[in-house]
Structure 1
Amino acid sequence: MKFQQATLQDLPQLAKIMSEAIHLLQIQGSPQWQDGYGPTTEKLTADIKNKATYVLRTDTNEIAGTIALITGIDPAYTEISEGDWLKTDSEYLSFHRVAINPKYRGQNIATQLMEHAILVARDKGFHDIRIDTHELNLAMQKVIAQTGFSYRGVVHFPIPNGKRLAYQRII
């Protein structure tokens, strides 16, 4: 497997993976990414142009998974309830838009993807990494815990069903 930044040539495959992830969440009964509030082609394009999107490629160059590493203050993370962020003297990096190609689900790809992203974060000089997920996204909660993040509280995105469980890892 090879972890690298996505390019605009990856956009069709990324859009398909996101569409399938949105559908999976719907089948699981999760409102996360539903009703047009999930990753759009426009958002994916912007992330690629901003060099935020990374992909985990197979030996045959197929995208097995994707993640966005977002720098800067995430407005949804400024208010946290039922807990708090661990204080650090450095900026944080947020992980968003994690999705796995359905062909590779159940093969530990999400964990590998997150571990690679953590290494990139460290290499970029970030010591504080944050991520969130919906309370019904049990698979993502498991991956988050397996990759060393600790639960910190609840954040709210300004969308319907915007409540998210927030996690942090200090490296």
Structure 2
Amino acid sequence: MEQLLFRQARASDLPRIVQIIRQAQAQMRALGSDQWQDGYPAPADIEDDLAAGAGYVLCRAGEAEAVAYGAILFDGEPAYGAIEGRWLTEGTYAVLHRLAVADGHKRQGLAGAFVRRTEQLARERGAGSFRVDTHRDNGYMLRLISRHGFARCGTVRYRSGERIAFEKILE
């Protein structure tokens, strides 16, 4: 199996991360989704991730260029406090937001690798569970979540609309 490097993103990664996000936005638009079509996530959102130490990249071994990006939060997600439904747990959790894989690197298992590395990091940090949310028409993310054993817990709302919320208990 190919070696992948999972690491915290650095300021020097910002242009590549923005490029990956823009590619994901274009793909969603081409598929008819309104997710990420309102300017979010903007470069300022990624800069905030980096400043908070929440931005992570996946790179192929021996290469510096990121092939996937995601923000991993350990201090909660405010929208999750108002879930329409019920979470599986009430303890500490990790959240993965803004997961995107670069064009030319899709359908190679990189999103799955990112999720597995996020789970490992969450366990190392003592999180009891792993939560994500996604747009109802994001088929790629819905399949990824299903493959990795997340349970549907309800819906959460952001300014951009409703998202389906999922959780996986980490053992």
Unaligned runs of 5+ residues in structure 1 are none
Deviation of residue 64 (structure 1)?
A: 1.4
Q: How much does 1:72 deviate? A: 2.1
Kept in 1, the 8 Å contact 2:69–2:101? The answer is: yes
Q: Percent identity?
A: 33
TM-score w.r.t. the length of structure 1 is 0.93
Letter of the 1:134 partner, please give it: H
Deviation of 1:168 after TM superposition, in Å, equals 0.3
1:111-138 CA distance string (max 9 Å, x none)? 0111011101111111121100001000
Query: Which residue of 1 is the match for residue 34 of structure 2?
Result: 31
Measured after TM superposition, the shift of residue 76 of structure 1 is: 1.3
Q: Does 1:74 align with 2:77?
A: yes
Q: Distance in 2 between matches of 1:167 and 1:109?
A: 20
Asked if structure 1 preserves the Cα contact closer than 8 Å seen for 2:89 and 2:129, the reply is no
What's the secondary structure of 1:104's corresponding residue? coil
Match of 1:64 among 60, 63, 67: 67
**1:44 partner amino acid:** I
Spell out, residue by residue over 1:73-100, the C-alpha distance to the aligned partner (whole angstroms, 9 max, x if none): 312111222x311133x22221101000
3-state secondary structure, aligned to 2:104? helix
Which residues of structure 2 form unaligned runs of 5+?
A: none
Conserved in 1, the CA contact under 8 Å of 2:67 and 2:102? yes
Q: Does the CA contact (< 8 Å) of 2:93 and 2:122 recur in 1?
A: no
Stretch of structure 1 that moved more, 71-80 or 108-117: 71-80
Please list, as runs of the form range in 1=range in 2, the aligned pairs for 1:66-145 lying within 5 A after superposition: 66-81=69-84, 83-88=85-90, 90-145=91-146
Match of 2:14 among 11, 25, 33: 11
Match of 1:43 among 39, 42, 45: 45
Q: Secondary structure at the match of 2:82?
A: coil
Deviations 1:9-59 (A, max 9, x none): 0000000000111111111111111122x2111110111111101111012
* Whole-angstrom CA distance in 2 between matches of 1:100 and 1:143: 13
